[in-house]
Amino acid sequence: MATYENLLLDLQNGILTITINRADKLNALNIDTIKEIKNAMQQVYDDTAIKGAILTGAGPKAFVAGADITEIAELSEVTARSFAERGQEVFAMIERSTKPVIAAVNGFALGGGCELAMACHIRVAAENARFGQPEVNLGLIPGYGGTQRLTQLVGKGKAMELMMTADMIGAQEALQLGLVNHVVPQEQLMGKSVEILEKIMGKAPLAIGLVIECVNAVFNKDENGYQTEANAFARCCTSEDFVEGTSAFIEKRKPEFTGN
């Protein structure tokens, strides 16, 4: 497994834990860290031993407290566009992964950190987690997909309010809004994330990947999501996992899926 400057990677029982390891900077995303997340996600895509991933931050205070402001301050119009597009590319890579990715939000998830969490398929938050898109305080807007994903998750009105006021919200409000799936005490955060992934990993891998593809199609204006679903359903019916799953149901036994 590759070595990283700003990430810690740990693979156990098919689950790759990716920890952003810049605790002294509250795990702020700089350009190098974005590149490393891209490389780590490529491992998730390529390594058949990896069945799912958890993204989290080092230390008790922050998941990711934002982007590196010293880098942002130097951007021009041209470099700012490429800066945003690079981040969007990496976060789309997380969103489109056919293997489940869970954000274990262990503290502040602000700006790029909130955007990173929203790119994951499921979000589990510690009770001390706080979320926000405070970019307008810097004369900016979210650039890594925040205007799009926050609106998808919490609705237009609340997304407008959060992004225009720069207000932070706590974990319980995030749960009520649908921004996160679960809130747990911090000491239970990783255990809950692993529990969810292990449950998903017990299902048919091909079907899981196609669920992700079809749900993402809801938000793709150029795609007919119903047709995507019908195509995916048909593909499932030609798979070995479909034969195994239906046979196991009829025979009243636990299925043994292979992902084929």
pLDDT digits (tens, 9 = 90+) for 150-189: 999 999 999 999 999 999 999 999 999 999 999 999 999 9
The pLDDT of residue 220 is 86
DSSP letter for each residue of the chain: ----SSEEEEEETTEEEEEE--GGGTT-B-HHHHHHHHHHHHHHHH-TT--EEEEEESSSSEEE--B-HHHHTT--HHHHHHHHHHHHHHHHHHHT-SS-EEEEE-SEEETHHHHHHHHSSEEEEETT-EEE--GGGGT----SSHHHHHHHHH-HHHHHHHHHH---EEHHHHHHHTS-SEEE-GGGHHHHHHHHHHHHHTS-HHHHHHHHHHHHHTT-TTS-HHHHHHHHHHHHTTSHHHHHHHHHHHHTS-------
CATH architecture, range 7-201: Alpha-Beta Complex (3.90)
Q: Calculate the average pLDDT of the chain.
A: 95
**Residue 1 banded pLDDT, cuts 50, 70, 90:** low
The pLDDT of residue 3 is 83
pTM for the full predicted model:
0.94
The pLDDT of residue 67 is 83
The domain made up of 203-251 is a member of CATH 2.60.40: no
Q: Known catalytic residues?
A: 115, 135
The pLDDT of residue 70 is 85
| Same fold flag, 7-201 and 203-251 | no
Q: pLDDT digits over 220-229, tens only? A: 888 898 999 9
Domain boundaries, the chain: 7-201, 203-251
Q: What is the mean pLDDT of residues 56-82?
A: 90
Is 230's pLDDT higher than 90?
A: yes
Q: pLDDT digits over 14-32, tens only? A: 999 999 999 999 999 999 9
The pLDDT of residue 222 is 85
Q: pLDDT digits over 47-68, tens only? A: 999 999 999 999 999 999 988 8
**Residue 195 banded pLDDT, cuts 50, 70, 90:** very high
Is 2's pLDDT higher than 80?
A: no
